[in-house]
Structure 1
Amino acid sequence: MELTALIVVVGIALFFNYTNGFHDAANAIATSVSTRALTPRAALAMAAVMNLVGAFLGTGVAKTVGSGIIDPPKDMHGLSIVAAALIGAIVWNLITWYFGLPSSSTHGLVGGLVGAALAASSTVLWHGVIYKVVLWMVVSPLIGLVFGYLVMVAMLWIFRKSNPSKVGRRFRIAQSLSAAAMALGHGLQDAQKTMGIIVLALVTTGYQSAADSHVPVWVILVCAAVLSYGTYAGGWRIMRTLGRRVIELDPPKGFAAEATAASVLYATAFIWEAPVSTTHTITAAIMGVGSTKRLSAVRWGVAGNIILAWIFTIPAAGIVAAIAYWIMHLFA
């Protein structure tokens, strides 16, 4: 019975990973597709491959998600908390995907974990939630916004005497590399979050020691493959929002936004092991890049809707997770 329940929860985690792939595929490729640096299918194929590679580059974020957010009981009750958390994250992913809002799968998952743990009167590690999640939820978009602006200003100054059409062609090529870097960062960050959840499920059922925080090879392989498959399935609704509705992008702007966002993803994963949102980071970078032209170039109404989705993600996913836990507890 316990093994069957564990398999079901791992299956739910992998479905979350799949929704993460198609929900967040736009993060890596929206700018390169909207500027016609890459065709949609070529961009998706590239993003799928780089997500796969990125998933093998580290496990620090997985350890944070698996042991730094909540401390559930090491029994079937703890497994039900993990299952409810995943349901909360999946439901929020699907709602925001339907409306084309680039919300954060990362914060949906964290919100689900916190909401399910609170509903179960289990332990929430608030220090980890605040300093590893909430702090970076604010800081990473600000860094993306500021550095996106600064990188674009530097590029405008460096190429101020160059022929605009020649510069555009060069950056169309360069953008293929920056999109690949962004996809690699997405795999590095987002595959690890599902890895951490599966490790948490293994620990709650006794199939892995609580003192052993390493991620088994089979978990890395499966999470990498599912995320890549989900990425290739595409996320056209969100891609339109990021690539066209926030600002009108050209290849230099797309390159600046992707290079900035990718740098933030690498730094937070390797240095601070913080599960930051790829969605927040690239969207803020796009806003920063666009504001170098003029503030009105950014469609702040659309941006405002995106920010509202950011604000509501953790509590909304937490509420859904709490309801899911109560329903499971009722029929247990």
Structure 2
Amino acid sequence: MEHITLLIGIVIITALVFDFTNGFHDTANAMATTISTGALKPKTAVAMSAVLNLVGAFLSVEVAKTISGGILDESAGIKPEVIFAGLVGAIVWNLLTWLAGLPSSSSHALFGGLIGASVASAGFGSINGDAVVMKVLIPAVCAPLVAGVGAMLATRLTYRIGRNTDPAATAKGYRAGQIASAGLVSLAHGTNDAQKTMGVITLALIAGNVVAPDSDPPLWVIVSAGMAIALGTFIGGWRIIRTMGKGITDIQPPQGFAAQTGAATVILASSHLGFSLSTTQVCSGSVMGAGVGRKGGVVRWSTAGRMFAAWGLTLPAAGLVAAGAALLADQGDWGVTTVAVLALAACTAIWMASRRKPVDHTNVNEGHDAEEPGVITTAIAAVIPPPAGLTTTAADTDPAKASA
């Protein structure tokens, strides 16, 4: 086995940067409803989620195996610079959707980046099509639907059981339940999403002949991936937390409990089976299901439509960015350097744009509807408009009118 080269070291660092962006991009999955209902203070919520993300990273390696030896064909000559280009595509898309406050899928950004870069460099033969369909595309369609229907039924059952009880007492109990279920989602997120970075790093090590094909992630890879996603989670993706907690529907404690429990069940079951699904899509589906499940509840379909558009764009958009990066990176050291410089410039520009209207723990629960849609959100909606009927109505923004 060879030693880790400078290029593989760059790939590892880039993978951990992606893992960090995955952490703050997906914090909303576990904690948005808990924060929006006041069950936990924002800073406490993200700290709790960070710890449980780290713990979850050590529970399984099945999803990591799907990434390192399933999606891409290791025998097709996948080089470390191709993996680097794929990660660049995923990071740029993650940051763009974070700036827009859209809960898109970090997982699909990663898959799109790796697939786009591999096709550009080694052709379509480098992709295991069956694995992509069975392990990625089918779960992408089914998991949010299953979680949404489960959350809707659980919400209706919850309100039916508690219809003759004291609302104040039950609200307190459900807030406690929310904290427990949010912890379970955080644990599930670490189990599923941290493994994706483990798989990418392991794939890079295999491509560089550092470890043998079909190897499990080394312990240092598991530890570093868990730490990176935990740190990103602690930073808090406040823009997406606002959208998930306030922008999709008005969540009450019973709904939050039902949504988070349903999401955690789907994510943990999928992780056990090695399905590398999107925790963002699962949690978003659960939140929408909980909104539909409460009598008089509101789902703001205009926001949901923009989310659906972002979901549809994620794989091809990240893939196109990564394909361009791969074509550059294949030119040699100067190409890899150029990709790194361009990626750094793009990330810096996105961060500077985010400072114009900052969202943090102090204003995360302010009204989402008061904001004008950002440039990126508007552009996404223009490319793929919300489906017919998913337009903003009075009921989208006024719960009183929705229940009238």
CA shift in 2, pair 1:43/1:101, >3 Å: same
Matched residue, 1:33: 35
Q: How does 1:300-319 map to 2 (within 5 A)?
A: 300-319=301-320
Letter in 2 for 1:218: W
CA distance in 2, matches of 1:294, 1:316: 38
Select 1:269's aligned residue among 263, 268, 271.
271
Tell me which structure has the larger Cα radius of gyration.
2
Matched residue, 1:260: 262
Letter in 1 for 2:147: G
Match of 2:134, SS? helix
Query: Residues 33-86 of structure 1: CA distance to partner in whole angstroms, max 9, x if unpaired?
Result: 0000000010011000000110000000000011111124576x6111111110
RMSD: 1.4
Match of 1:330, SS? coil
1:2 CA displacement: 6.4
CA distance in 1, matches of 2:32, 2:70: 32
The TM-score with structure 2 as length reference comes to 0.79
Question: 1:88, 1:318 within 8 Å by CA — same for their partners in 2?
Answer: yes
Match of 2:289, SS? helix
CA distance in 2, matches of 1:292, 1:220: 39
Does 2:133 match 1:133? Answer: no
CA distance in 2, matches of 1:154, 1:170: 16
1:121 CA displacement: 2.6
1:226 CA displacement: 0.9
Matched residue, 1:23: 25
Match of 2:38, SS? coil
The TM-score with structure 1 as length reference comes to 0.96
Matched residue, 2:15: 13
CA distance in 2, matches of 1:131, 1:172: 37
CA shift in 2, pair 1:295/1:141, >3 Å: farther
CA distance in 2, matches of 1:8, 1:81: 12
Percent identical pairs in the alignment equals: 43
Matched residue, 1:153: 156
Give unpaired runs (5+ residues) of structure 2.
334-404
Select 1:60's aligned residue among 57, 62, 67.
62
CA distance in 1, matches of 2:8, 2:17: 14
1:293 CA displacement: 2.8
Match of 1:208, SS? coil
Matched residue, 1:162: 165
Matched residue, 1:119: 120
CA distance in 2, matches of 1:40, 1:227: 18
Question: 2:71, 2:129 within 8 Å by CA — same for their partners in 1?
Answer: yes
Does 2:237 match 1:235? Answer: yes
Question: 2:31, 2:49 within 8 Å by CA — same for their partners in 1?
Answer: yes
CA distance in 2, matches of 1:215, 1:121: 24
Match of 1:298, SS? coil
Question: 1:74, 1:206 within 8 Å by CA — same for their partners in 2?
Answer: no
Tell me the matched-pair count: 329
CA distance in 1, matches of 2:94, 2:295: 32
Question: 1:72, 1:117 within 8 Å by CA — same for their partners in 2?
Answer: no
1:213 CA displacement: 2.6
1:160 CA displacement: 1.6
1:161 CA displacement: 1.0
CA shift in 2, pair 1:73/1:8, >3 Å: farther
Query: Residues 162-204 of structure 1: CA distance to partner in whole angstroms, max 9, x if unpaired?
Result: 1112111111111110110010011001100000000000000
Does 2:178 match 1:175? Answer: yes
Matched residue, 1:221: 223
Question: 2:86, 2:113 within 8 Å by CA — same for their partners in 1?
Answer: yes
Question: 1:72, 1:81 within 8 Å by CA — same for their partners in 2?
Answer: no
Question: 1:88, 1:317 within 8 Å by CA — same for their partners in 2?
Answer: yes
Question: 2:85, 2:117 within 8 Å by CA — same for their partners in 1?
Answer: yes
Matched residue, 1:290: 291
CA distance in 2, matches of 1:252, 1:165: 12
Which is worse superposed, 295-304 or 278-287?
295-304
Question: 1:79, 1:205 within 8 Å by CA — same for their partners in 2?
Answer: yes
Query: Residues 113-163 of structure 1: CA distance to partner in whole angstroms, max 9, x if unpaired?
Result: 110111013410000000100000000000011101111111112112111
1:329 CA displacement: 1.9
CA distance in 2, matches of 1:296, 1:27: 20
Question: 2:255, 2:294 within 8 Å by CA — same for their partners in 1?
Answer: no
Question: 2:82, 2:329 within 8 Å by CA — same for their partners in 1?
Answer: no
Letter in 2 for 1:261: A
CA distance in 1, matches of 2:296, 2:196: 35
1:330 CA displacement: 3.2
Give unpaired runs (5+ residues) of structure 1.
none
Return structure 1 stretches of 4+ with deviation > 4 angstroms: 72-75
CA distance in 1, matches of 2:277, 2:76: 27
Would you tell me which structure has more helix in proportion to its own residues?
1
Query: Residues 78-111 of structure 1: CA distance to partner in whole angstroms, max 9, x if unpaired?
Result: 1111111101110110100010000000000011
Letter in 2 for 1:209: A
CA distance in 2, matches of 1:108, 1:262: 21
CA distance in 2, matches of 1:255, 1:59: 28
Query: Residues 187-231 of structure 1: CA distance to partner in whole angstroms, max 9, x if unpaired?
Result: 001100000000000000001111x33111110011111110110
CA distance in 1, matches of 2:92, 2:129: 24
Question: 2:26, 2:233 within 8 Å by CA — same for their partners in 1?
Answer: yes
Question: 1:119, 1:325 within 8 Å by CA — same for their partners in 2?
Answer: yes
Letter in 1 for 2:166: N
